Amino acid sequence: MKISRVISHFFPNRCEVCNCEIELGAVLCGECEKLIRGPIMASFKLAHIDRAYSYWSYDTPLREMIHAYKFGDRPRMADLFSKMLLEMFLVFGEDVNTVVPVPTTVDAFRRRGFDTNHLILKKLSRDLDLKIEDVLVATGRRSPQSRLKLADRHGNVEGKFRVKRELSTGKIILFDDVVTTGATVGQCARVLREEGVKEITLFSIAKAKK
Ligand SMILES: [Zn+2]
């Protein structure tokens, strides 16, 4: 018996959305995969940001996938998200190849062992000529936005980011996996502008309806 079959016998791999048993290495079952009839890649408006695009809405099954990735210790799911981001770069990336990820706090990094946004970009950089600029630092304890009630979200990010060094370009793509109210990315964009960044395009994987 192959070792992978032994593993799947004792620890069956399950779909992140409907929990049915699936092949080892897969993330979603075929039925749930079909639910993402994307990409939508819709544009939306945000303060301090020139253009903002999201791959899909923050709905089933993408919501469950992102939760599994961020809170369920599933770093390999970064591959899936990097493929979504690749599609966005091919359509809206134009000539911009400098990406600034919204950073994970030190607390969250310790908990997960990886920086969620940075890992997605690192996977993407195998397919695209990207310059990942980790210039933003999260200085406060940033509670996970998606777990907070809408009313709590704005106060959650006040004064929580700073830029640690100068950027080599005035044109960047800001990246965050999930955009809820836009308060987090808006704050990041504001501090980047203070450092002389002229043009900011935002890419996100999922955008929550307000
Ligand atoms: Zn499923």
| Residue 60 CA, ligand 1 centroid: distance in Å | 10
| Residue 114 CA, ligand 1 centroid: distance in Å | 26
187 DSSP 8-state letter: H
Q: Which residues surround ligand 1, an ion (CB under 5 A)?
A: 15, 17-18, 29, 32
- Please write down the long-range contacts of 114-118, taking CB distance under 8 Å and 24 or more positions apart: 114/75, 116/69, 116/70, 116/78, 116/177, 117/175, 117/176, 117/177
Dist. CA 87–CA 34, nearest whole Å:
17
pLDDT in tens, 42-58: 888 999 999 999 999 99
Domain 37-207 has CATH 3.40.50: yes
- Write down the domain spans for the chain: 1-35, 37-207
Q: What angle do CA 174, 176, 177 make, to 5 degrees?
A: 145
Both ends of the chain: CA-CA distance in Å? Answer: 51
Cβ atoms of 47 and 38 within 8 Å: the answer is: no
| Residue 70 CA, ligand 1 centroid: distance in Å | 19
pLDDT in tens, 73-129: 778 789 889 989 999 999 999 889 999 999 988 888 888 888 999 999 999 999 999
Confidence of residue 141 (pLDDT cuts 50, 70, 90): low
Dist. CA 175–CA 54, nearest whole Å:
10
Q: Amino acid identity of 122?
A: K
| Residue 54 CA, ligand 1 centroid: distance in Å | 23
Mean pLDDT (whole number) for 52-72: 89
pLDDT in tens, 109-125: 888 888 999 999 999 99
| Residue 158 CA, ligand 1 centroid: distance in Å | 38
pLDDT in tens, 4-36: 666 666 778 888 888 899 998 788 888 888 877
